[in-house]
Structure 1
Amino acid sequence: MGDTCCNPDSMGKIQETINDVLPGIYTYSIMIGKDESEDKKSSFFGNINEEVNSVCEKLKADENLKYGFNAIGFSQGGQFLRAYVQRCNDPPVYNLITFGSPHNGVSDIPGCEKNDGWCRLMRSIASQGAYSGYVRDHVIQAQYFKDPLRLELYLKKNIYLPDINNELEVKNETYKKNLVTLNKLVLIRFTEDTTLKPRDTAVKGNVVPVREQKLYKEDWIGLKTLDEAEKIVFKDCEGSHMTIELNYFREEVVVPYLNNSLNYRQKPLFVIQT
């Protein structure tokens, strides 16, 4: 939210760090739109379903990724990459790592930590009502807003999150089938996160722990299956939202989850999404 694919102080630094630890691997940082300006705007305005479809096409068209890849998603980007796995997964994701991602939605539209005009405009428009026609179709953050006091309205009106979390009455079996193919699902929560409300949405929780939720117990998207196979990793990252020490990133993410061979002939590949 508010970042771009190629910012040298954020995603660029992430790529540089991985290349330093694992020289020679192929990296792909997802851009939505034709340039960085559009990429930033698309983190506030657009349709997530359309953006995920676009990413499915981009990744499938990249010959360097055709045997599969590791994926890292930061903040809302982690949730969108999970949608990629569930809906497309062609080429397939091996390890999916998400940092501070609103997997179970947010109960309040995220605030603006920086003096960001797009963010202020987004919050102004979203204040008209996250489930109103224009807002729900055009404001990214409204599309993963989950009002705990109006769940029936959420299920009826939200155009994205109820679907990828398989909360609708008719379940999409492909979502579970695809997600359980992951080697590891690594869910990282920021200990002092005030951007995501509730903070535990980053580890698929809310006020109810993930293993006590109906989504988990009835295995709507495959979390229980992954968990019982010891393929889910819950981790904490000290600090506020998207405050990541590079040493933590190297030791807790790059070395254990990116330093693996995906097939008989290639070095590890990875994709990052802001």
Structure 2
Amino acid sequence: MAGFLLAALAIALFFSPPASSASEDEPVPLVIWSGMGDSCCYEYGAYQFKVVLERLIPGIYIKMVAFGKTPTEDSYNSFFLNSNKQVELACDLLSSDEMLANGFNAMGFSQGSQFLRALVQRCGSIKIYNLISLGGQHNGVYGFPFCPGSSSILCHLFRRFLGMGTYLSFIQDNLVQAQYWHDPYDEESYALDCEFLSDINQELVFKPSYKERFSNISNFVLVKFEYDMMVEPKETEWFGFYKEHQSVETYSMFESKIYRRDLIGLQYLNKTERIHFLSYPGGHLQFSFEWFKSNIFPYINRTFDNVRSPLKL
């Protein structure tokens, strides 16, 4: 995570006046799930958004998803605690929180985005209204950070090498990032052996409950970073990915099997104007305060009076 940019955002937010409440009702709670290597409580991580949003939205309850007794342990678990176990633990954590009993909005940073989506699909005891994905890898990744294979033979060879062992059960069980590795040269192994992403994307076994629960969210906000070199390909942040058997040309969400067969409810959400495609001309998780306040803040600053209906800006 680009810590110095998040710190700049935090400073800008701190010097902004508190937002006035548009309703006497209590604001909808917010759950935040941080990204790879970050923690619930690092000074210059996603935690900053909890601090500044509490200032901007008086009375809001914000919950950080965390695993471990310390920030360091939480960060460690973002690499090595099985994704399915994380979602299971998060379901228990959020279901038992009385402050979230009436539903909440959710904002994910990077891999935290697809984990929150999995939470919507799998956890029937919670209610998520607006789901905000900041640089999430919803169709997986195929590449090493800052090593785009389309412009480097060495990078291409390296990710082909990584693909040779990624779907081994030992790797899948113990490395979080392997659980959303999507090899376009071996779609069969991805569908069969990827323990996390191929399940929530319904690549192999269709589970009606996944689609039903996800179709019930109020808004799904997908943010893509146009100059992202951390995520390969960046189109995955809008549910796109590489076309099969190569790693240069990409397809869009609308061309994907997930959308065409409406495996998780994307078609329904799109037809009811509940998917919102946003982009920012920056690197991974690098955005300005002004952009955040104009484009993301309206999905967070909601009361129960108006959160249940699709939001139109």
Which interval holds the TM-score relative to the shorter structure? Answer: 0.7 to 0.9
Match of 1:234 in 2: 277
CA distance in 2, matches of 1:109, 1:61: 37
Q: Counterpart of 2:185?
A: 149
Q: What RMSD in Å do the two structures reach over aligned CA positions?
A: 2.0
Structure 1 unaligned residues grouped into runs of 5+: 113-122, 269-274
User: What is the rounded CA distance, in whole Å, between the counterparts of 1:154 and 1:68 in structure 2?
Assistant: 33
Q: Please report how far the alpha carbon of residue 128 of structure 1 lies from its aligned counterpart in structure 2 after TM superposition.
A: 7.1
- Tell me, yes or no, if structure 1 residue 79 matches structure 2 residue 114: yes
The aligned residue for residue 250 of structure 1 is 293
How far apart in 1 are the matches of 2:197 and 2:229? 21
Task: Tell me which of 107, 127, 131 is aligned to 1:96.
Answer: 131
Distance 2:305 2:85 in 1: 31
Would you identify which runs of 4 or more consecutive aligned residues in structure 1 move more than 3 Å?
A: 109-112
- The verdict on how the C-alpha distance between 1:162 and 1:128 changes in structure 2, with shifts beyond 3 A counting, is closer
Cα deviations by residue, 1:130-158 (Å, 9 ceiling, x for unpaired)? 11221111000000000000111111211
SS at match of 1:192: coil
d(CA) in 1 for partners of 2:202, 2:275: 19
The one-character-per-residue Cα deviations of 1:20-74 (angstroms, maximum 9, x if unpaired) are 2211110111111222111000111121001100000000011100000000000
Aligned equivalents of 1:188 and 1:97: distance in 2? 8
Residue 161 of structure 1: aligned partner: 197
Q: Secondary structure at the match of 2:278?
A: strand
TM-score normalised by L of structure 1: 0.87
Distance 1:237 1:138 in 2: 33
Residue 4 of structure 1, CA deviation: 0.5
Q: Which amino acid aligns with 2:304?
A: L
| Matching residue within 213, 236, 239 for 1:201 | 236
* CA distance in structure 1 between the partners assigned to 2:71 and 2:146 by the alignment: 22
In the alignment of these two chains, the number of paired residues is 252
Counterpart residue type for residue 253 of structure 1: I
TM-score by length of 2: 0.77
Task: Work out whether 1:262 is the aligned partner of 2:262.
Answer: no
Q: Which residue of 2 aligns with 1:62?
A: 97
- Report the 3-state secondary structure (helix = DSSP H, G, I; strand = E; otherwise coil) of the residue aligned with 1:152: helix
CA distance in 2, matches of 1:111, 1:135: 22
Runs of at least 5 residues in structure 2 that lack an aligned partner in the other structure: 1-35, 148-158, 242-249, 308-313
Report the Cα distance in structure 2 between the residues aligned to 1:94 and 1:231, rounded to whole angstroms: 11
Task: Tell me by how many angstroms 1:232 deviates.
Answer: 0.2
Q: Which has the higher contact order (CA 8 A, sep 6+)?
A: 1
Q: Of residues 85, 96, 108 in structure 2, which corresponds to 1:50?
A: 85
The structural deviation recorded for 1:165 is 0.2
